[in-house]
A and B are shown apart, each in its own frame.
Chain A
Amino acid sequence: MAGSSSTSRLVRIDPYLWRIPRSYRADMRVDAEIFISEEMLKDIENDLSLEQCVNVATLPGILKASIAMPDIHQGYGFPIGGVAAMDLEKGVVSPGGVGFDINCGVRLLRSDLEEEKVRPHLERLVINLARVIPSGAGKEGPLMLSLEELDQVLGQGLRWALKRGYALLEDLEHCEAGGFLPGAAPEKVSDHAKKRGLAQLGTLGSGNHFVEIQCVEKIYDEKIAGKFSLFEGQVVIMIHSGSRGLGHQVGTDFIGLMGPVMAREGIVLPDRQLACAPIHSSEGKAYLAAMKAACNFAWCNRQLLAFRTREVFEEVLGAKLPLVYDVAHNIAKIERHRIEGQEREVLVHRKGATRAFPPNHPDIPADYRESGQPVLIPGDMGRNSYILAGLPGAMERSFGSVCHGAGRLLSRTKARERQNFYEVEAFLKSRGVIARAASRSGITEEAPDAYKDVNEVVQVVEGAGLAKRIARLRPLGVVKG
């Protein structure tokens, strides 16, 4: 299963779309389609990401194609950057198609301050953020929930945060799904998962999670940027985190449960990590209900991180930080899409992919409806991040989805070998970026050159007509997990 075998079967459809036809392997039910440039294809020649995209094409009930975004890289079961939509009657739900970090996602807060006003206070802001935001392994959060209250978080999402004074009503309006998925069932979340989650609400986690102070470096579309309240030189804050140990355990529990279900249903798959259950089976329904609860937990987690960030900015600069938007990039959702000319409900898995609904879609908040949904794409901590707006092309070509970030290029071990902490710190300093992390390895393995260039990734997304660039952001200060 070398990566190169599937690379040679790629057919170029246009400069930004490549296809591995269904005929490539007998067990494929649909084509595999990869939104990528010729240049970027080289980055994935030697890993299993294309093979994983082909494997996803074998899942029962998959519609149109197994799709991958330009930030594609090797994951477990699904590639990271994968999108798969399933028929609700004949299709399956795969916990691996959501990932262990359920509702990992990004939110963007905006200030009304320009970089020059913030720069003199930057170090203090970063130090204070690092102090109030628990990160890294084994760190407990500022809240110790009771089991009863945790069930409210799981069942109500941001509605709980609103009730408890951690969120404003506008926060809910500017969050994908309003920060609350109905049908979440706390009783489908195991005791193990709840125990992992009890002390972790409001914690950043580790790996690539961060709170980043950024500056709007360039505006591409003044009109839409104005609708998103963004302007050149403005300081904004991006938060990247997910459902922490609670979500990881929900994923672990249900992947473990799916083995016997597949045996019962006669489902044979090329990779055990793709484990799945029919959407209408009791196990499929239980997973979706538990996944929704973990999603609600993740939204409350990002909300608490935002709450602490707001406190720090209020204290240091007297600044208010309204929410621009919050999007999930590890999730499965029932949405309406056009299949063979007919609009109907399907289950869309997004594993390292972001929803990008076009203008006038009913699920976009009223004040953004004309513009298209804001899409938040974090890059690495030395280069850029982007704000995009969804386009009709995403509905036509990728089930309303785009990329989720830059995509990893170097393994964490390789990144650590390549540069030491002081070299990465010096590079960041030369770019005017102040970074703090729970551990030194947290900085070295997240070094900018461990990632693909997000500028190229976003160029593909725009070239393919999935979303358009609205603003480019540049990092100023980073708190890493």
Chain B
Amino acid sequence: MGSFEILEHPADIGFSFQGETLEEAFVQAGRALLFLQGGEEALRSLSSNERVSIEVEGNDLLEVLYDWLSEILFFFDSEQLLLGEFHFEKLDEHGAKASVGGQKFDQTKFETPYYVKAITYHEMKLEKGEGGWHGRVFVDI
């Protein structure tokens, strides 16, 4: 099992994440973004009654991560869709393909702790080390 942690930035916010496998690390980055968009309640009780497919391409892992998170953000901002359940069909330095589940943002249930405008490359990291993959992302809020 992986995990994530929220990080401070003077004007914005970020998160670090880790997973035994690359897939798990990407799942945790997605969960961190879910937390910023829907809070603890979304982490705890998000249903998967809606499904979308996310497919991104990149020239390296950081680009794939940037595009992957940007897609999750896109679904939230354009369709008010919170996404929290991720099944990868493909994931490597050239791209990712996943089936993703979630539900519509429900204002009576969820509160958005931080409205995320965009994913950034600022001090972005994703490395394989002891115990698996470790990453860090800062977002613009």
Return the contact of A100 from the options B10, B80, B111, B118 (Cβ within 8 A).
Answer: B118
Residue of B with least CB distance to A197: B78
Interface size on A, residues (CB 8 A): 43
Contact B112 A439 (CB under 8 A): yes
| Minimum distance in angstroms from A454 CB to a CB of chain B | 16
Which residue in chain B gives the minimum CB-CB distance to A410? B10
A196 lies within 8 A of B11 (CB): no
Cα distance, A100 to B12, chains bound together (Å): 13
- Inter-subunit contact A74/B6 (CB<8 Å): no
A260–B63 Cα gap in the complex (Å)?
11
B9 touches A249 (CB 8 A): no
Partner of B10, one of A73, A195, A256: A73
| A206 CA / B70 CA spacing, docked (Å) | 18
Report the Cα distance A229→B76, complex, angstroms: 43
> Using a CB-CB cutoff of 8 Å, which residues 106-141 of chain B contact chain A?
107, 111-115, 117-122, 124, 138, 140-141
Contact B140 A100 (CB under 8 A): yes
Q: When chains A and B are docked, how far (Å) is the Cα of A252 from the Cα of B56?
A: 14
Report how far A198 CA is from B80 CA in the complex, Å: 13
Residues of A within 8 A of B138 (CB): 76
**Contact, CB under 8 Å: B115 / A136:** yes
Residue of B nearest to A75 (CB): B11
Interface residue? A273 (CB, 8 A): yes
Q: Which residue of A lies closest to B62 (CB)?
A: A272
User: Within the assembled complex, what's the spacing in Å between the Cα atoms of A1 and B71?
Assistant: 31
Judge if A282 is at the interface, Cβ distance under 8 Å. Answer: no
Given contacts A76-B138, A76-B140, contact A192 B121 (CB under 8 A): no
Digit string of A49-83 for contact with B (CB within 8 Å is 1, else 0)?
A: 10000000000000000000000011111001000
Is A248 part of the contact surface with B, judged by Cβ < 8 Å? Answer: yes
Shortest Cβ distance from residue B19 to the other chain A in the assembled complex, whole angstroms: 22
B43 at the interface (CB under 8 A from A): no
Instruction: Report the minimum CB–CB distance from B7 to chain A (whole Å).
Output: 9
Residues from chain A with Cβ under 8 Å of B73 in the complex: 252
Q: Does B23 contact A (CB under 8 A)?
A: no
Answer yes or no: B67 CB below 8 A from chain A CBs: yes
Q: Which residues of A contact B50 (CB under 8 A)?
A: none
Summed over the interface, the residue pairs from A and B with CB atoms below 8 Å come to a total of 105
Q: Are A408 and B11 in contact (CB under 8 A)?
A: yes
**Cβ–Cβ contact B140 & A137, under 8 A:** no
Is B141 a contact of A245 with CB atoms below 8 Å?
A: no
For residue B13, CB closer than 8 A to chain A, the reply is yes
Assess whether B59 is in contact with A259, with CB atoms less than 8 Å apart: yes
User: When A249-B74, A439-B112 are in contact, do A411 and B118 touch as well, CB less than 8 Å?
Assistant: no
Identify the closest chain A residue to B117 (Cβ). A248
- Assess whether B41 is interfacial by the CB under 8 Å rule: no
Contact A413 B8 (CB under 8 A): yes
Contacts of A77 in B (CB 8 A): 120-122
Does B105 interact with chain A (Cβ within 8 Å)? yes
Interface string of B22-62 (1 = CB under 8 A from A): 00000000000000010000000000000000000001001
In whole angstroms, how far apart are the Cα atoms of A272 and B138 in the complex?
Answer: 13
A74/B117 in contact, CB under 8 A = no
Contact with B along A254-279 (1 / 0, CB 8 A): 01100110010000000111010000
Contact between chains at A412 and B67 (CB < 8 Å)? no
Please determine whether B63 and A76 come into contact, CB atoms closer than 8 angstroms.
no
Residues of chain B lying within 8 A (CB to CB) of residue A414: 8
Bound complex: CA A275 to CA B78 (Å): 26
21 intermolecular pairs with C-beta atoms under 8 Å apart: A76-B12, A76-B140, A77-B122, A101-B117, A138-B76, A138-B105, A195-B78, A196-B78, A198-B78, A206-B115, A245-B78, A248-B140, A252-B73, A271-B121, A272-B124, A275-B121, A408-B11, A413-B8, A414-B8, A439-B111, A441-B113
16 other A-B residue contacts (CB within 8 Å) besides A49-B10, A256-B66, A275-B121: A73-B11, A74-B9, A76-B122, A101-B140, A138-B107, A138-B112, A192-B74, A196-B78, A252-B70, A252-B118, A263-B59, A271-B122, A411-B12, A411-B13, A412-B11, A439-B112
Q: Which 3 A-B pairs have the closest CB atoms?
A: A206-B115, A272-B121, A137-B112
